[in-house]
Amino acid sequence: MPPLPCAELHLHIEGTLEPELIFTLAARNGISLPYADPADLATRYAFTDLQSFLDLYYANMDVLRTEQDFTDMTRAYLRRAAAAGVRHAEIMMDPQAHLARGVPLETCVNGVAAALSTSETDAGISTSLIAAFLRDRPAAEALEVLRDLLAMDAPIIGIGLDSAEAGYPPSLFREVYDVARDAGLKCVAHAGEEGPAAYVWEALDLLAVDRIDHGIRCLEDEALVERLVADQVPLTVCPLSNVRLRAVDAIGDHPLPAMLARGLNVSVHSDDPAYFGGYLDDNLAALVDAFGLGIDDRARLAANSVRSAFISEGRRQDLLAEVEAWRVSAHAPRAV
C-alpha cells in the first residue's frame, strides 16, 4: 500500500538533524564532538522531559554553520518525508537559536529557503516556512527578530512559539503576534504540551492563533474542548514526541483516539523526527500498532492535516482528492 498522503504541519527543521548528518557537518566544519560516533550520540536520546531534549537539540545545532549546512539538512528531511507520504510541509525553524551562537539570520533563512524553493521538483512536496520564537527568551528579542525578518523580506508565511513551555505563557508574546498578524502572517503556537490547558486558552484568546501545536492537555478542560470543537481549531499532535518527552507514559496511553472521538480537529506530525524515533509514517504506524487505527481514521487524520494547512483552495482540493483516492484503494480487495 502506498503511504498515506499527508500535510506535515508540525516539524522543527533542526529536529530533523540525524546523528550521521551531525557527524558529517561537524567534520566539514572542523568541529570535534564529545561522542565517539553517531551510534554513541543516539544513546543520549533517552529524555526525561522537554528540557532534557531541548538541551541536546540546541547543543547539536552547533554543527550548522553555513547556508549549505542548512540546505543539506532540509533536503535530507524532504527526501525522507517524501517516502513517508508527505505531500505538503509547513516547516518551522528557530532563528534565535542560530543568532544566539553567532550565525546570521540570512545564513539560516536563506539556507533552508534554498532547499524549499526546489522541494516540488526534488521531492514532490510543496513547502512553506514558519519562523518560531523561543518562549524562554525575552519577548523583546522575538520582536526584534520578527522585525528583521520582515525587513529582509524573508520567505515566511507565519510565526510560531516553541521551546520550554512551563512558566512562559503565551500572554508574554501578545505584541509579537499583533505585529505578525498585521504583517499578514499566519500564527501558530505550541501550547498544552507540557504547559496547562490555560496556555491553550491564552494562545486562542490573546494570540489569536490559527493552529495550536500539540494541545493534548486540552482534555483536562471540558470548556476548552467544547471551544476547540466548535471552532474546529487545528491541533497538530505528535504522538512519538509525547511519549519520548514523557508527556504521556506510553503510546497506548496517548489521547489521540479520545481526541478524535470528541470531534477535535487533530492531525498527526513528527515534531523532531531525528530525536523521537520516527517520521510521519512512523507516527502513524505507532498509532496503528497501539490502537488498531483503521483506514478511515487514518484518512480522516490526513484530511484534517490538509484542511488545516495554509495553502490555496485549489491545492487543498487536490490533496483532499489524493487522500480520498488512498482511502478507496486501501479498502479495495487486493489481488494475490
Q: Is 331 labelled as part of a ligand binding site?
A: no
The set of cell numbers assigned to 81 is: 518525508
Backbone angles phi, psi at 155, to 5 degrees: -80, 60
Query: 159: closest CA among 227, 210, 219, 84?
Result: 210
Binding to ligand ADE in span 179-198, by CB under 6 A: 190, 193
The answer to whether 162 contacts ligand ADE (rule: CB under 6 A) is yes
Whether 324 is catalytic: no
Rounded least distance, CB 335 to ligand ADE, Å: 42
Count of all residues that appear for the chain in the document:
336
The answer to whether 271 contacts ligand ADE (rule: CB under 6 A) is yes
Rounded to the nearest 10 degrees, the angle between the axes of helix 313-331 and helix 295-307 is 170
The answer to whether 8 contacts ligand ADE (rule: CB under 6 A) is no
Rounded least distance, CB 283 to ligand ADE, Å: 13
Distance of CA 108 to the CA centre of its chain: 17
The answer to whether 271 contacts Zn ion (rule: CB under 5 A) is yes
Q: Is 12 labelled as part of a ligand binding site?
A: yes
Distance of CA 185 to the CA centre of its chain: 17
CB 255 within 8 A of CB 243: no
Q: Is 98 labelled as part of a ligand binding site?
A: no
Q: How far is it, in rounded angstroms, from Cα 57 to Cα 50?
A: 10
CB 203 within 8 A of CB 195: no
Nearer residue to ligand ADE within complex by CB, 60 or 107 = 60
Nearer residue to ligand ADE within complex by CB, 130 or 319 = 130
The answer to whether 254 contacts ligand ADE (rule: CB under 6 A) is no
Nearer residue to ligand ADE within complex by CB, 85 or 239 = 239
Rounded least distance, CB 137 to ligand ADE, Å: 12
Rounded least distance, CB 246 to ligand ADE, Å: 12
Nearer residue to ligand ADE within complex by CB, 8 or 322 = 8
Catalytic residue among 8, 14, 90, 193: 193
Q: How far is it, in rounded angstroms, from Cα 43 to Cα 53?
A: 13
Q: How far is it, in rounded angstroms, from Cα 11 to Cα 271?
A: 4
Q: Which residues sit in the known binding site for Zn(2+)?
A: 10, 12, 190, 271
Q: Which residues sit in the known binding site for substrate?
A: 272
**Which stretches of the chain bind Zn ion, using CB under 5 A?**
271
